[in-house]
Amino acid sequence: EIPIHSTGFEDCDVSFPSLPSDEYILTSASAPVTTSEELVVNFNVFERIKKKTKEDEQEAESVIADDAVQTTTTTRTSDDELNALLKTSQAPMTSQLLPPSSASTLVESMAAHEEMQYLNLIRDIIDHGVQRGDRTGTGTLSKFGVQMRFSLRNNVLPLLTTKRVFWRGVAEELLWFVSGSTNAKDLQDKNIRIWDGNGSREFLDSRGLGHREEGDLGPVYGFQWRHFGAQYTDMHADYSGQGVDQLAKAIDAIKNNPTDRRILVSAWNPAALDEMALPPCHMFCQFYVADGALSCQMYQRSADMGLGVPFNIASYALLTRLVARVCDLDAGEFIHTIGDAHVYLNHVDALRTQLTRIPRPFPRLVINEEKRDIDSFSYEDLTVEGYSPHGTIKMKMAV
């Protein structure tokens, strides 16, 4: 193992040997730490991939059964090798930051950067996932039943940093859900086109919804959150007072009965699934209040790990922050529970690139202090501070 520390700044003032991605993999990263000199640093651990010799391959062929799974092994660097590496790195600040004990022990004792949960899950799915067909015909690698947890305390926003996430799209879509809208054109007018594919004429016709106007998604997320059980006609109708306003009821329960174990908001309505352009992937969430802080757990039946999940994490973190603000609570934690966690086969190469990147500090989300009503928020009320991600990684959406 090679522990290295780097600053949270683009131009790092600590140099270390370049680590080729075909020889080393990032296995852990610490959360940002502020030194006594007020320098923000994080510690990262890389493992060297053991190179297989011809003798290894011949031996493996003789002992591995036809149906066995062969996995990559890693080797750990000794303390002597580690010390030699640190000396040759010409990084004077490293010796000042590391205590006399093993640097590996230091990294293990520090809080992990929470983005590593996502990166490790991606790597696990690519390396060990089951290859399956899917509705889109693209093909996936999949694992079933996983969970990630993200702290929302101190205004931290878990907006992934190993690629740039479209924050404006995340925020406007969440506010669109909250409004109860089912009109994809509301987002198009703001140059947010994440629902264009599922609202297209071709896609609606393929779902047997040829009678619908293009862009009319049917009784999807926002409609279920605010009008569950109401009879859906089209995206132009006024549904005020119709159905169950689950979001309003949840907020009322959080304020007046915070220990209630039935504070849920569900987008999964079996009676209306055939009317939806796309049945909900993130199906329902549950709110939980403890020690003055609001936490949220969301269950997602189907999760596109490359494109969708970075959006979903930030979206429900934002929802939790907004509901906490309305209820005069701190934000606690977002727990993301996933059923079918999958990587599309045409995303594998792009995600392998993302796996070579070191997480940076999560940004902070500041919300307009004057807003206290769930229906009053706009994108302009949300300010993200300190977001300095790696570059964009393009992936094609499977429709």
Interstrand relation of 24-29 and 140-151 (parallel, antiparallel or unpaired): unpaired
Report the pLDDT value the prediction gives residue 107, as an integer from 0 to 100. Answer: 53
Report the pLDDT value the prediction gives residue 93, as an integer from 0 to 100. Answer: 37
Partnered with residue 181 across adjacent β-strands are: none
Alpha carbons within 13 A on the beta-carbon side of 90? 4
Planar angle of CA 76, 81, 85, nearest 5 degrees:
110
How far is residue 375's CA from residue 95's CA, in Å, rounded to a whole number?
A: 52
pLDDT tens for residues 225-241? 999 999 999 999 999 99
Helix (H, G, I), strand (E, B), or coil: what is residue 360?
A: coil
- Point out the catalytic residue in the list 12, 281, 285, 327: 281
Is the model's pLDDT at 94 over the cut of 80?
no
Q: Is 137 exposed, middle or buried (0-12, 13-18, 19+ CB in 10 A)?
A: exposed
Q: What is the pTM of this model?
A: 0.80
Helix (H, G, I), strand (E, B), or coil: what is residue 335?
A: strand
pLDDT tens for residues 118-173? 999 999 999 999 999 888 888 999 999 999 999 999 999 999 999 999 999 999 99
**Above pLDDT 90, what percent of the chain?**
69
How far is residue 202's CA from residue 308's CA, in Å, rounded to a whole number?
A: 22
Contacts of 359 (CB under 8 A, 6+ apart): 29, 42, 113, 115, 116, 119, 160, 161, 162
How far is residue 342's CA from residue 365's CA, in Å, rounded to a whole number?
A: 29
The question of whether 285 is a catalytic residue gets the answer no
Per-residue pLDDT averaged across 338-364, rounded? Answer: 96
Report the pLDDT value the prediction gives residue 109, as an integer from 0 to 100. Answer: 53
Q: Closest Cα partner for 24 from 50, 5, 4?
A: 50
Residue with the larger pLDDT of the pair 96 and 377: 377
Would you state the torsion angle of the CA atoms of residues 263, 264, 270, 274, taken in this order, to the nearest 10 degrees?
A: 140
Q: Residue 346 has what DSSP assignment?
A: G
Q: Output the DSSP codes for 249-271.
A: HHHHHHHH-TT-S--EEE---GG
Is the model's pLDDT at 102 over the cut of 60?
no
Q: Closest Cα partner for 355 from 164, 146, 120?
A: 120
Residue 324 structure tokens? 């906490």
Q: Is 27 exposed, middle or buried (0-12, 13-18, 19+ CB in 10 A)?
A: middle
List the single range of 20-24, 227-231, 245-249, 276-280 with lowest mean pLDDT: 20-24
Is the model's pLDDT at 78 over the cut of 90?
no
How far is residue 37's CA from residue 43's CA, in Å, rounded to a whole number?
A: 17
Look at the alpha carbons of 269, 270, 275, 279 in this order and tell me if their dihedral is positive or negative: positive
> Is the CB of residue 343 less than 8 Å from the CB of residue 351?
yes
CATH architecture under which domain 115-385 falls: 2-Layer Sandwich (3.30)
Report the pLDDT value the prediction gives residue 39, as an integer from 0 to 100. Answer: 73
